[in-house]
Structures are given as structure tokens and as C-alpha cells.
């Protein structure tokens, strides 16, 4: 017998945040992914990491980036 989605949602939301996070990671990992897309994202992440490591680009803190984005939306 399957559990109605509402009951499952209520049960999951009752879990501690660490357990919800772990479950979320597992659910996302269980989704079908396109290996081509995954490979492209991995190459992009490596390229960006190399740019930061080499000093070609400078990273900025996340809160600064978000503030800039929000300012641009006004």
C-alpha cells in the first residue's frame, strides 16, 4: 500500500533538518540525469576553479554577489 503524498510530505517535514537534507540529496541523485549535461557542468566547474586558482578571476563573497544582483533588479 502506498502512502498518500500529503502524508508522506507531513512525515518528511517532521524530520530534523539534517535528515531532510540527506533525504533531499538522495532524491535528487535518484532522478534521471543526462550524462552529457553532467559532463558539461563538471567541465565548467573545473574551468572556473582553474580561473580562480590561476588568479585570472577573483571570487567574491556570496553575500556581495547577491547584493549586486538585488541592486540590479531595482
Mean pLDDT of 8-23: 96
- Asked whether 17 and 6 are in contact (CB, 8 A), the reply is no
Region label for 55, one of left (φ > 0), alpha (ψ between -120 and 50) or beta (otherwise): left
User: What is the average pLDDT across 40-69?
Assistant: 96
- Beta-carbon contacts of 23 under 8 Å, excluding residues fewer than 6 positions away, are 12, 15
d(CA 21, CA 64): 26
Mean pLDDT, rounded, of the chain: 93
- At 1 the pLDDT is 64
Please, where are the H alpha helices in 31-73?
A: 35-54, 62-73
Give the residue with greater pLDDT, 47 vs 35: 47
Check: pTM over 0.85? Answer yes or no. Answer: no
Amino acid at each position: 500500500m502506498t502512502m498518500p503524498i500529503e502524508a508522506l510530505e507531513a512525515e518528511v517535514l517532521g524530520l530534523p533538518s539534517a535528515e531532510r537534507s540527506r533525504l533531499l540529496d538522495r532524491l535528487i541523485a535518484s532522478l534521471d540525469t543526462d550524462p552529457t549535461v553532467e559532463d558539461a557542468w563538471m567541465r565548467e566547474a573545473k574551468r572556473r576553479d582553474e580561473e580562480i586558482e590561476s588568479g585570472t578571476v577573483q571570487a567574491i563573497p556570496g553575500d556581495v554577489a547577491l547584493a549586486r544582483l538585488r541592486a540590479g533588479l531595482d
